[in-house]
Amino acid sequence: MTARRAVFIHSQEIDQYRYPEDSPFKTERAGRTRQVLYTMGLLYGEGISEAAPVPAPRTVLKKFHTARYLHALQNAQKGKWDVEALAMGIGTEDCPIFKEIYDYAVLAAGGTLVGAELILSGKADIAFNPSGGYHHAFPERAAGFCYINDNALACLVLAEAGKRVLYLDVDVHNGDGVAHAFYNRSNVMTISLHENPKTLFPGTGFEDEIGEEAGRGYCVNLPLPVGTFDQAYLHAFEEIVPPLIGAFNPDVIVFELGADTLAGDPLAHLYLTNNAYAEIIHHLLRFNKPILATGGGGYHVENTVRAWALAWTIFSGQDVDLGLEAVMGGVMLQSTDWQGGLRDRELPVTNEQREMVLPALETTIETIKAKVFPIHGLKV
């Protein structure tokens, strides 16, 4: 156990909202994560607490989103939808209109803002909102299941409070909406590790997208080859991310913990286990900075829930050998998948896979170092 104060952000209220049944995006992942943690006794103890999300105030929403867009989203909830709303991405296949669409988006974003306020007030060292992570939303456009960009809003609130913010995004899709928000600013550094944009939505996040004007060098994109596995991913992470965090020296880290990089995700093509996420979180904690974590993608529900539950055990200093406790958690959940604990099994990697991934990844690492490291006084 550690002295870190960790807050898990969730409520019965947010549990009631759902995207349409045929949408790959399942909001119930957050509630299921909370249930796993509660059943395993991981939501109470010294330094551990829960907090409920509250709707994000409109004044805060307008720090990033336009009034016109917010109005269109509210109208969609009331059944008023037109071509103008469609042009904003509202009512598309990946951003469908559903009952209480606006209320849910604003409450989910509010959860992340609650976490930001807990950190700013000194009441939390770690705050985790698994219902957050809508990094594809733009000021006037919904995209990729995202309507309100809670990550961008949280970074803005923290930056306005005088904090240097490091935004790290390990979702399999490029964190394009957040990068857009800070592309010409230097008080928020955005780092996104994601599948190669040539093979996956949203088609952005190449190595040469490094920011502009005052923000040049403060937007970092690390595209990953199809089939990237734990060892390769962690090598790329360790070569790029810790040196940049050290050089930037943030006051707070905002961490998008999308779980769609995991092997078997139906919408992506990477090959990770949740052990890679565990290692990344341990890396971040060594910097001894407050961390505001959110959910994100993850379309294999069981894998996502297990990954987020494992992440919480590390955030909250409970990442000990769970042993019998993990087995009992599995029994109570009536799922043999949990009886080995929260960590995934190691996955075999073929020589062909190594030959496909490693050389391409090494080239990417060298390119990023050449383009970005000198700006921050780091040796290439």
Q: Mean pLDDT, 10 residues at a time, over the chain (380 residues)?
A: 83 97 98 97 95 98 98 97 97 96 98 98 98 98 98 98 98 98 98 98 98 98 98 98 98 98 98 98 98 98 98 91 41 44 95 98 98 97
Region of residue 373 (phi > 0: left; psi between -120 and 50: alpha; otherwise: beta): alpha
Q: Count the domains in the chain.
A: 1
296 in a structural domain? yes
* CATH number reported for the structural domain that contains residue 354 in this entry: 3.40.800.20
pLDDT score of 319: 83
* Residues with catalytic function: 136
Residues 368 and 240 sit within 8 Å (Cβ to Cβ): yes
pLDDT score of 274: 97
d(CA 288, CA 342): 25
Half-sphere exposure of residue 131: CA atoms within 13 angstroms, side-chain side = 35
282 in a structural domain? yes
pLDDT score of 332: 39
Pull the structure tokens for residue 186: 């230097």
pLDDT score of 353: 97
Concatenate the DSSP letters of all residues of 29-79 into one string.
HHHHHHHHHHHTT-S-BTTEEEE---PPPHHHHTTTS-HHHHHHHHHHHTT
Half-sphere exposure of residue 43: CA atoms within 13 angstroms, side-chain side = 16
360 in a structural domain? yes
1 in a structural domain? no
- With a CB cutoff of 8 Å and minimum separation 6, the contacts of 61 are 70, 106, 109, 148, 153
pLDDT score of 329: 41
312 in a structural domain? yes
| Alpha-carbon torsion (75, 79, 83, 86), positive or negative | positive
Half-sphere exposure of residue 260: CA atoms within 13 angstroms, side-chain side = 26
83 in a structural domain? yes
d(CA 113, CA 120): 10
pLDDT score of 320: 63
22 in a structural domain? yes
186 in a structural domain? yes
Name the residue range of residue 357's domain: 6-376
pLDDT score of 341: 84
